[in-house]
Homo-oligomer: A and B are copies of this chain.
Amino acid sequence: MRRKVYVDGAGVRVPFTEVVLSGDHAPVRLYDTSGPGSDPAEGLPELRKPWRRGRTQLAAARAGIVTPEMEFAAIREGVDVEVVRSEIAAGRAVLPANVNHPESEPMVIGSRFLVKVNANIGTSAVTSSVAEEVEKLTWATRWGADTVMDLSTGPRIHQTREAIVRNSPVPIGTVPIYQALEKVKGDPLKLTWELFRQTVIEQAEQGVDYMTIHAGVLLEYVPLAAERVTGIVSRGGSIMAAWCLAEHRENFLYTHFRELCEIFREYDITFSLGDGLRPGSIADANDEAQFAELRTLGELTHIAWEYDVQVMVEGPGHVPMHKIKENVDRQVELCGGAPFYTLGPLATDIAPAYDHITSAIGAAMIGWFGTAMLCYVTPKEHLGLPDKDDVKAGMIAYKIAAHAADLAKGHPGAQEWDDALSRARFDFRWEDQFELALDPETARSYHDQTLPADAAKTAHFCSMCGPKFCSMKISHELREAGMKAKSSEFVDAGGRVYLPVTGA
């Protein structure tokens, strides 16, 4: 059985999912992003309203102040709040929390903490509706999304975002250039700084917690992408590149970056510095266009920090396994340890319709190497807009990748989940095994497909091997038959009773 429980801290009450196990096995507590639940028409309760204050989380952290947000996030992570404060102060972690998004439950993103997963949703000109997107939001957080990006394009961008922010218990990210482009009816050449600035303020007022800003796509870098196999694959990147080349002027996001910092500081919006020149294919990975932009993102990171504005830096994309680590190493060096936030990367291009898997491979590895948040990829990547099933498939693949990374990083407590599940498996506690699974319903239904009877839920075997061939059953019989006693007796007796086969 699963149930929601709360842990009290100094002025905060933090939700967890508790998995109650059979017999006297201790329950297991899991990080819970699903929020309090609500009627979409009403919106969520304003949890953070009483906490609101006049400075950014970064400014507070630097001043040695522990905010309720930090306290909340520390309890979720199971770490001392001083770790949260000091990592934020150093710029190595961010706590995205727009003052106008009081509905959100605070969380922290940084390489010292649990690896996070972002889910992208959003309408396009071709398909989807506001109600559908709110449903996807709720669905994504139910499967563990730590943040959600609303990437809506097409009509109704403002209303879609309003519905999403008011109903989101997790931080919401956007890419404001999409809405700016809608305002000029899709013609990048009509974009101006003033129009962009107004769009950012509009979204800031709504409560967007972090925004992707493609300020690193400099005019001089665009030619570097000309000979690529897949050119520029970032929507925002291609829009800014088109503007730069047509105007033959520098990217206005770069030239007005300090003004953006001032706006972001006012709302405590976190920068997600977009990698507009990320590689869109294995052939283009780790090329000069990509790394040139990364150097500029490093420069911008340090500028944002001057303004007490929090920063994440976005990363690729499509990268073969042997080139993944270099991405993290360079990012850490150039961006002063600011959290890295990567899209996959996909470890191969050959499997459209399975890019949740091609990218979970790269995501797990890059998470291990130090990426703080992974942007999920769904099976529909490269093919179409994800529906609810795709959102779930993407989330599951990425929760696997993130948890595998937590294990590999030796994150305190991460392995307890694996151990609890494996102990349930070894004990043939089938119901406990299902409840501890990332997706209990599917695990149960797969088991039922071949052995549907209730009796099979207590059987000491499954349909894979049948009763005679179950290694775990035999292991238990060995153990129960006094294997340990026999073993020590055997070891005491010298431990070797045979002639080595290598002998004459």
Contact = CB atoms under 8 A, between A and B. Distances in A.
Interface residues on A, range: 35 or more
A465 B124 contact: yes
A32 B142 CA distance: 42
Contacts of A472: 230-231, 233, 238, 280
Instruction: State the copy count for this chain.
Output: 2
Given A153-B466, A154-B466, A350-B421, A219 B498 contact: yes
A9 to B, nearest CB: 26
Q: Is the interface of A mostly helix, strand, loop or mixed?
A: helix
Contact of A358 (B400, B419, B477, B491): B400
Interface in A347-390: 347-354, 356-358, 360-361, 364-365, 368, 379-385, 387
Contacts of A347: 364, 400, 404, 407-408
B436 A350 contact: yes
Interface string A458-481: 000011111111111011111101
A52 interface: no
A255 to B, nearest CB: 6
A469 B404 contact: no
Contact of A478 (B125, B178, B230, B231): B231
A418 B464 contact: no
A20 interface: no
Contact of A471 (B235, B385, B409, B470): B235
A43 interface: no
Given A281-B425, A349-B417, A349-B419, 15 more contacts: A226-B484, A230-B422, A230-B425, A230-B475, A231-B471, A283-B415, A283-B418, A283-B422, A322-B409, A348-B403, A354-B400, A354-B438, A357-B397, A380-B464, A384-B449
Interface of A: 124-127, 153-154, 178, 181, 186, 188, 218-220, 222-223, 225-226, 229-235, 237-239, 241-242, 245, 248-250, 254-255, 257-258, 280-283, 299-300, 303, 318, 320-322, 347-354, 356-358, 360-361, 364-365, 368, 379-385, 387, 396-397, 399-401, 403-405, 407-410, 415, 417-419, 421-423, 425-426, 433-434, 436-439, 442-443, 446-447, 449-451, 462-472, 474-479, 481, 483-484, 486-488, 490-491, 495-499, 501-502
